[in-house]
Amino acid sequence: MTRNNYKKEAKKSLKKSIVTFAPIAGTIAILLGFIIFKSVTVYNNSKLVNYDTELNGKIVKISEYKGQTFILFNGESKYWSIDNSSNHNFDPSFLGDFLILNDTILKTTCSDTIRVIRNNTEYIFLIGDRLLNSKEHSDTWIKLWRERRRIVNEKGSCKE
């Protein structure tokens, strides 16, 4: 192969690589941009649901990240962040997977209970409790887990 032929083949190979790699790189850039956007606008800029928080709203957006559930209510601009919560009586059991748009969320002050209202039916979740109604764990383990929940240990203005 002559030197000129080698250069031509190298250019063709480079063009093929660029044509193949460009869509992949573009997709990766879009995904990274989306993750950064979500991180800045939702995950790092949300209001944490605490023991003394009161909630009453209809869900218009839902997002999940690292066990946290992020919900946006109708008429609000900031998401609410709810600690990892599950109720094993429901399918799916994880709050973030269970919620659907237009569900109503109710939480009174000085409470660790989220009430989800859907089609005139009420569903209960304890904030930060991943073992509610679990049949796979001992009562001792469930009690220990409940005592470690952030929301119960950081009662804010509701401390007795």
Please tell me the distance from the alpha carbon of residue 29 to that of residue 46, in angstroms, as a whole number.
Answer: 25
Average pLDDT, the chain: 85
Please tell me the distance from the alpha carbon of residue 79 to that of residue 63, in angstroms, as a whole number.
Answer: 9
Q: Is the confidence at residue 103, as pLDDT, over 80? A: yes
Q: Helix or strand or coil: residue 102?
A: coil
DSSP secondary structure letter of residue 132: B
Q: What are the tens digits of pLDDT across the range 36-90?
A: 666 666 777 899 999 999 999 999 999 998 889 999 999 999 999 999 999 999 9
For the chain, percent of residues with pLDDT exceeding 70: 82
Q: What are the tens digits of pLDDT across the range 112-124?
A: 999 999 999 999 9
Continuous segment of H or E residues that includes residue 95:
helix 95-98
Q: Is the confidence at residue 148, as pLDDT, over 80? A: yes
Please tell me the distance from the alpha carbon of residue 52 to that of residue 135, in angstroms, as a whole number.
Answer: 30
